[in-house]
Amino acid sequence: MKITYDWLKDHLKVSAKEDKLLGKLTDIGLEVESIENLSEGLDLFKVAKIIKTEKHPNADRLKVCDVDVGNKEIKKVVCGAANARKGLLTVYAPPGAIIPKNKTKLVVAKIRDITSYGMLCSESELNLSDESDGITELSSSKYAKNVGKSYFSKPSSNLIDLSITPNRPDCLGVRGIARDLSAAGFGNLKPQKDKKIKSNKKQTLKVKITKEKNQGCLSFGSCLITNVKNTESPQWLKDKLISIGQKPISAIVDITNYVMIDINRPLHAYDADKIDKGIIVRNSNSGEEFTALDNKNYKLDDGMCVISDNKGVLGLGGIIGGTRSGTELVTKNVLLESAYFDPRSIRKTAKKLNIDTDAKFRFERGIDRLSIEDGLNKAAFLIKEICGGEISKIDVQKIETYKNKVIKFEPKMFEKVTGLKISTKEMINILEKLGFKLKKEKKFFKLSVPSWRPDIVQEIDIVEELVRISGYEKIKIENPIKERSKNTLNPTQKLFHFLQRAVASKGYLEAITWSFTDSKYNNHFKQASKEIKIVNPISSELGVLRNSIFSNLVMYMSKNLDRGIKDLSIFEIGPIFYGSQPGEQNTIVCGLSAGKKSRLSWIEKDRNVDVFDIKRDVIQTLVEAGYDSEKFYIDDESPNYYHPGKSGRVFLNKGKDKVAAYFGEIHPNIIKNLDIKTESLVGFEIFLDNLKLPKKSLKDQKTKYSVSDFQKSERDFAFIVDKKISVQDLVSVISNIDKNLISNIKVFDVYEGDNIPENQKSVAISVTIQSLEKTLTDNDLEKTNNLIIETVENKTGAKIRS
């Protein structure tokens, strides 16, 4: 919204300087985007007189003009305008001047070997109108004595560009801005002195609003002005429009633009003689076409609000008029329209047709529904004053009656919400100046909301208005308390972040990916889950919600491997989805490791990452989080995207809990189908929602290492045991025999085959025996060996292999 301080003073009685205005506008929420000095460079453009013209010696269409630019100074100017002639008063721009239309800076230049000192300007180049067929012709009676003087009157104020938020359509008019400033104590709002039409002459063009579904026009006001003489606008009106960057066109069009900017009331003027029998406001039919005032042809869809007559569409209601009924300088009779259009209808139509106009910009935000007659009165009297004519009565057709909104407001709420104190008297003063009507009832006020404020709908909006006008700067700034609360995160959140750090500490890099993925990858990991398609995906490759984090990790692991990163471990913690409804999701820690261990090491031989590496990472992470490894139960069942013989699942307690984690090699068929180029690929999933919170706080989970100064002894045992017995069961039995002596247990062989009975297997285990208190004797070791054998045989049914 562009305004000038001079125009603002038409509505505001104020003596403060412009710099004070800029600060106050920002204070009340009307952000000043930019300020432009309108007078800069305009003093260079002079009223000039052509003394003589000669044909250019080297160009048929050019003339060499001797131009009197004042102070008895004659300049030679090469000009191509057909109307350049001796005695013509026009506008001269010297070298150094910047042409307003194209911002070109003039220089002394040779044109076909003739030096031209400046330029004679057209109205289009001066941004005065769209007229470009010839240079500007000035009236001799008005400008004969002004040769050599500046053509442009020097404006006393700058052009101020305001950023008006969509909820403040009332400030898309100069009067609305003046009203806000007055309420804030910056001057006093002048009362409107517009005359009201008092005519006995009827508006003879019939107007009908069709009552149909989604009708975009709710009321249509009009008046007929006959026997007008459309002409050039007076200088004051031209200056107003030029001061905000608009081009004067003709008096009638300029008046409608002036009223729109002045009081935020868009109008449209029709040549009444071009309307066939009357106006019909209706919904368009698919395929209808019309040529608009921007000289473009538009093909309409069903349900667009159009203004029409018996011949067809005259214009799009509230957006743009058509050329068929547009006013011209020869127009004799004018139908002036002032209507109210539904903002949703305007937005929908303008978006479909890609049209942006000043009227559309205002109507789509919601203008004052009760300003129809104000706009007609103001514009009609200006037309009569400038163009003459007779004004008819105002005719207003409605399909809906407007009712003022009433809001209950309790003054105490202001202090409760803002922490500020202002008197009830001050509140009343601010609200009345903003246009609210108040009625006192016990502890609260009944406020009648002004029709130009569609954004005010509830009590809190009144609080916002009061604090905006009284001053946001009055709100105390209080620094936040620097002491962090001990309970910033709840236990579940703490566990989330702890697992995040625990996995990262094991050499995994954290990935953060979308919650949606490529179905090509997701199908390998969704098992029996239903594919959840996204209706409007951001790309065709990310069209489903992920059923497993593996879907994304495998995708990005493959991209990194293709770029030559051979050995990589990545993880992500986040949601997976098993349904499309809110809450149908689980939080998972998912990791993936590819390549080799110790690939470039000269100390140890390299090897592929395997299931035992990933199992160690899972078990260690759970132990660090405070879960008791001695209660863990591990078996070899796992989802079908793991290798069936090299994977497993972990329970925190046997038979009592849900699955805590899966781990293992990714199925070879998946690696092959997705063309993942790596020696080995292993992964894990830890299910946060299935983990009961550890009894101890995560702060207390510290790894305790006990180092013995005494000699250790390693003894190997081979047990023949039923195949149904897991190796983990054997390890658990041995570890519980004597925790003070047995410091390490390692399984180094599992064998089935010759010399082993059917349905049985041989498990070889190395046990480290070491005391923290003394060196163990042979008797001590023998006693421990026998205890291990006896305990394993009794508890598992195993037999020592001879």
What are the domain boundaries of the chain?
Answer: 2-38+156-189, 42-146, 206-398, 406-473, 491-700, 713-800
CATH class of the domain comprising 406-473: alpha beta
| Sequence-separated (6 or more) residues with CB below 8 Å from residue 42 | 150, 152, 154
Tell me what the mean pLDDT of segment 154-181 comes to. 89
- pTM beyond 0.85: the answer is no
Does residue 485 carry a pLDDT above 70? Answer: no
> What is the spatial distance between Cα 717 and Cα 720, in angstroms, rounded to a whole number?
10
- Here the tokens at position 265 are 């009331």
CATH of region 491-700, choose from 3.20.20.70, 3.30.930.10, 2.40.50.140, 3.90.550.10: 3.30.930.10
Same fold, 42-146 and 491-700: no
The three-class DSSP label of residue 225 is: strand
What residues are paired with 588 via a beta bridge?
A: 574, 687
The three-class DSSP label of residue 780 is: helix
Tell me what the mean pLDDT of segment 786-801 comes to. 89
Buried b (16+ CB within 10 A) or exposed e, 199-223: eeeebebebebeeeeebbbbbbbbb
> CA angle 259-261-267, nearest 5°?
45
pLDDT of residue 486: 65
* CB distance 433 to 417 below 8 Å: no
CA distances from 692 to 591, 653, 781 (A): 21, 11, 40
* CB distance 39 to 89 below 8 Å: no
Tell me what the mean pLDDT of segment 783-798 comes to. 90
Tell me what the mean pLDDT of segment 226-253 comes to. 90
Tell me what the mean pLDDT of segment 174-178 comes to. 95
Q: With pLDDT > 90 as the criterion, what percentage of the chain qualifies? A: 61
pLDDT of residue 435: 93
Q: Closest Cα partner for 196 from 383, 396, 374?
A: 374
CATH of domain 713-800: 3.30.70.380
To the nearest 10°, report the CA torsion of 170, 174, 178, 181. 70
Q: What topology is assigned to 42-146 in CATH?
A: OB fold (Dihydrolipoamide Acetyltransferase, E2P) (2.40.50)
* CB distance 606 to 597 below 8 Å: yes
| Average pLDDT of the residues of the chain | 90
pLDDT of residue 622: 92
pLDDT band at 620 (very low <50, low <70, confident <90, very high): very high
pLDDT band at 697 (very low <50, low <70, confident <90, very high): low
pLDDT of residue 181: 94
Residue found by looking up tokens 């309108």 in the block: 38
Does residue 496 carry a pLDDT above 70? Answer: yes
Q: In the chain, how long is the greatest CA-to-CA distance?
A: 134
Q: What topology is assigned to 206-398 in CATH?
A: Phenylalanyl-tRNA Synthetase; Chain B, domain 3 (3.50.40)
Does residue 702 carry a pLDDT above 60? Answer: no
pLDDT band at 704 (very low <50, low <70, confident <90, very high): low
> CA angle 309-315-318, nearest 5°?
120
Residue 372's H or E segment, with its range, is helix 372-387
Residue 136's region, left for phi above 0, alpha for psi from -120 to 50, else beta, is: beta
Q: Distance of alpha carbon 464 from its chain centroid, rounded? A: 23
Domain 2-38+156-189 sits in CATH 3.40.50.720: no
CB neighbourhood size of 670 (10 A): 19
- Here the tokens at position 160 are 């101020």
Q: With pLDDT > 70 as the criterion, what percentage of the chain qualifies? A: 97
Q: Closest Cα partner for 256 from 362, 185, 177, 160?
A: 362
Tell me what the mean pLDDT of segment 45-73 comes to. 92
